[in-house]
A and B are shown apart, each in its own frame.
Chain A
Amino acid sequence: MSDIHTLSGAYVLDAVNDIERAAFARHLAECSSCTQEVAELTETAGRLADVSVTAPPVHLRGRVLEEIGRTRQLPPRPAQPTRVARPWRRWAAGAVAAALVLLAVGAGALVEEQRVRDAQRQSVQATAIEDVLSAPDAVLHTVAGPDGQGRVTVVVSQSRDQAVAVLGDLPAPGADRAYQLWMIKDGQTTDKGLLAAGATGGTKLIDGVRGEQRFAITNEPKQGSAAPTTPHPPVNFPLT
């Protein structure tokens, strides 16, 4: 039984972070026995709500019905395109899942911290992160962090024009310093986000990745810089 498989209980109980959830969902798609186990355990977990049945306040009904009156419904899920079972693709998917689970410790902190700023936006962002990680054309790049410490993983989906960067266990950036993410095209750097001050890891959803050639991170003042302050980023690797 693979390690990720044992996550089924925690997954069903929502006791995982967004990255682990996406990785496990990806595993589920390729493991039919897991699908059945997860269905049964989900049903079981639902029974735990039996003991907390409570009549809601009467006014909630009116509010909910009013709200759905102005809420558009999603169409049924489109049929999944048949995946071509090329060996490299399977390997890549497994590697993405495994790498993300390994990195998830560091990733959780930032995902949670971002939530605080805007729970609503964050919920949308968490969904977007899952979508990138599970995109059929997701390509995984992973390298060591600055001074060989920690890991930097970037998952790029050309079809979605988005990427997810997962950084974990990097060396501490120093007082009032933060890691900043960049993408580089024809020598032109574009700011792709800033980790929290002092953070040694985090997860960032990155928009606009088509045509970008390299990914880099630099150590910057905590408010970030308009352009990298060093010509030699400690992490700098090709995306193509």
Chain B
Amino acid sequence: MTSSTPRRLESGPVDPPGLDDLLRRVARGDETAFATLYDRLAPRVFGLALRIVRDPAQAEEVAQEAFVDMWRTAGRFDPERGSAVSWALTIAHRRAVDRVRAEQATADRARKAAVSDVAYDEVVEAATARFEQQQVRRCLGSLTELQREAVTLAYYRGYTYREVAELLGAALPTIKTRMRDALIRLRDCLGVSFG
């Protein structure tokens, strides 16, 4: 966590070049730049929304809300604090999580049932061959079981750490720590760093 190098996030293999520039143009109201941004990000944004909310119609709504948020707040994107891709995915993830939590409260769905089909299996089985995906899967596989479950239940299912603790029968401080440890391990495994 300590680093004396200049704080510039390396974008990693998944961040297509020029997204920062596109966002700067979007912030000035450039709708053509926004359409390009949409084309580059939509499969990741929609895919994430679908993974979390499960229902395709709702995933479309969530993706649309996320893109409208990006349009509204493009002027507040700060490239010094992170890549454009992670900014966009943060917005989309938050929207999707808000959606499932509202649903959860409505349906008061049986949360215990989710334990048996932990998201990691789906992660492993997702049939794609892209290098980055393999890398993410390999790195998820390097986590301890508790770390992996804590991260996947939160990220792909939208559970709070309290719910995760309840699902996994672990203490709250343990789950908080596992989530952080897991992300640190993933960060090192994926080579996400300051350059």
Pick the contact of A40: B75, B76, B99, B192 (CB < 8 A): B192
Across the interface, do B123 and A51 meet the contact criterion of CB distance under 8 Å?
A: yes
Query: In the complex, A77 Cα to B160 Cα: how many Å?
Result: 29
Partner of A33, one of B1, B14, B75: B1
Main secondary structure, interface of B, reads helix
Q: Decide if B72 touches A74 in the complex (CB within 8 Å).
A: yes
Q: Which residues of A contact B102 (CB under 8 A)?
A: 112, 115-116, 119, 122
Contact B50 A52 (CB under 8 A): yes
Contact with A along B21-39 (1 / 0, CB 8 A): 0000001010100110011
User: Size of chain B's interface in residues, with CB distance under 8 A?
Assistant: 89
Within the complex, the shortest CB–CB distance from A120 to chain B, in Å, comes to: 9
How many CB-defined contacts (below 8 Å) exist between A and B? 222
Q: Is A92 an interface residue (CB 8 A)?
A: no
Query: Is A64 a contact partner of B68 (Cβ separation < 8 A)?
Result: yes
Tell me the nearest residue of chain A to B26, going by C-beta. A73
Listed stretches A4-12, A149-157, A232-240; interface member: A4-12
User: Closest residue to A68 on the B side, CB-wise?
Assistant: B71
Of listed A7, A8, A63, A68, residue having the most chain B CB within 10 A: A68
Which of chain B's residues has its CB closest to A105's CB?
Answer: B162
* Beta-carbon contacts under 8 Å, B149-195 to A: 151, 154-156, 158-162, 164, 173, 175-184, 186-187, 190, 192-194
Contact partner of A43 (CB less than 8 A), chosen from B44, B83, B155, is B83
With A and B bound together, what is the CA distance between A64 and B46 in angstroms? 12
Q: Which chain A positions have C-beta within 8 A of B190?
A: 44, 47
Query: Do B98 and A53 touch (CB < 8 A)?
Result: no
Known: A33-B1, A51-B137, A116-B105. A9 touches B183 (CB 8 A): yes
Q: Is the interface of A mostly helix, strand, loop or mixed?
A: helix
Chain A residues numbered 85-143 whose CB sits less than 8 Å from any CB in chain B? 105, 108, 112-113, 115-116, 119, 122-123
Report Cα–Cα, A67/B70, bound state, in Å.
12
Alpha-carbon gap, A55 to B41, bound state (A): 10
List the A residue with the shortest CB-CB distance to B186.
Answer: A44
**Cβ–Cβ contact B183 & A44, under 8 A:** yes
Give Cα distance in the complex from A237 to B173, angstroms: 34
Complex contact B1–A37 (CB within 8 A): yes
A227 adjacent to chain B (CB < 8 Å): no
Residues of A within 8 A of B118 (CB): none
Known: A15-B179, A46-B90, A51-B126. 15 other contacts (CB 8 A): A7-B176, A10-B179, A15-B161, A15-B164, A41-B187, A43-B83, A46-B85, A47-B186, A54-B46, A60-B60, A63-B64, A67-B64, A73-B73, A76-B76, A119-B98
Q: List 21 A-B contacts (CB under 8 A).
A: A12-B183, A13-B154, A14-B93, A14-B97, A15-B154, A15-B161, A36-B3, A40-B187, A44-B190, A45-B86, A45-B93, A46-B83, A47-B14, A47-B190, A48-B156, A50-B136, A51-B133, A56-B46, A64-B68, A108-B162, A115-B98
Residues of B participating in the A interface, judged by any CB pair closer than 8 Å: 1-3, 7, 9, 12, 14, 27, 29, 31, 34-35, 38-39, 42-48, 50-51, 56, 60, 63-64, 67-68, 71-76, 81-83, 85-86, 89-90, 92-94, 97-99, 101-102, 104-106, 123, 126, 128, 130, 132-133, 135-137, 151, 154-156, 158-162, 164, 173, 175-184, 186-187, 190, 192-194
